Amino acid sequence: MTLRPEQIRARDYFHHKGTLLPAEQIHERVAAAFAATETFFESVSDDEARARAIAGEWTIHEVVDHLIETHRPSLDELRDLLHGRGPAGGPIPASLQSADPMARPFRALLADLAKIHADVLDLLSGAPERMTDARAAIIMVVNVKEPDGREAPLHWIEELDWKAYAVTAFRLHELDHLNQSKKTLKAARAPR
């Protein structure tokens, strides 16, 4: 299989910014991402969270729902990896949401997200330095430039050790959706 340059860069990132880092640094990097998203989401009003400010994009409310729905099983997968087991089942779907993402109050979603963050950080605080052969499959999605100049998502399955998994499933995922949410909030607050 021939890898695209974006896939090679992603693998290099997983190795250098995940696998090779000390467990304590993994914890710190994930904690910093969680703190940044929690601070940002707390600054968003309920109306702003529900606003569909960009056609075809998720609302901030839907982004938080997505983070909760993906972080719950990711926490279980991380726990398996730390115990030297590969998680059962396939990778977590990339666009996972609850059955009705807008049904719950935004502040209730934020409380759930903060609880999941605390659980992840608690698990990472006791993570051993040792590595095992256990791997978890994730669906990687990155935007790439096509030969015709348009941007399109590239999807592939990647098998990650616990450190690379923690950095990808929690830190990178959070920061990606933080940036998406900042763009959405800017559009929601723009004069019409």
The label of the residue with tokens 């430039």 reads 145
Cα distance between residue 57 and residue 184, in whole Å: 8
Number of Cβ within a 10 Å radius of residue 117: 22
* Cα of 185 vs its chain's centroid, Å: 19
Judge contact between 190 and 42, C-beta under 8 A: no
Give the integer Cα–Cα distance in Å for 38 and 44: 10
**For residue 65, what pLDDT is reported?**
98
Domain count, the chain: 1
Compute the chain's Rg from CA coordinates: 17
Q: What is the pLDDT of residue 147?
A: 87
Return the structure tokens found at 167: 């950095």
Neighbours of 40 (CB within 10 A): 15
Q: How many helices (H) and strands (E) does the chain have?
A: 7, 2
Q: Do 67 and 34 form a contact (C-beta atoms < 8 A)?
A: no
Dig out the tokens for 151 from the structure.
């941007």
Whichever domain contains 53, its CATH number is: 1.20.120.450
For residue 18, give its domain range: 5-189
Say what the pLDDT of residue 141 is: 86
> What phi, psi does 98 have (nearest 5°)?
-70, 170
Give me the count of residues in the chain: 192
Q: How many CB atoms lie within 10 A of CB 106?
A: 21
Q: What is the pLDDT along the chain (192 residues), one digit of tens a residue?
A: 788 888 999 999 999 999 999 999 999 999 999 999 999 999 999 999 999 999 999 999 999 999 999 999 999 999 999 999 999 988 999 889 999 999 999 999 999 999 999 999 999 999 999 899 999 999 998 888 888 989 888 899 999 999 999 999 999 999 999 999 999 999 999 987
Torsion of CA 83, 87, 88, 92, to 10 degrees: 150
DSSP 8-class letter at 154: E
pLDDT given for residue 153 in this prediction: 87
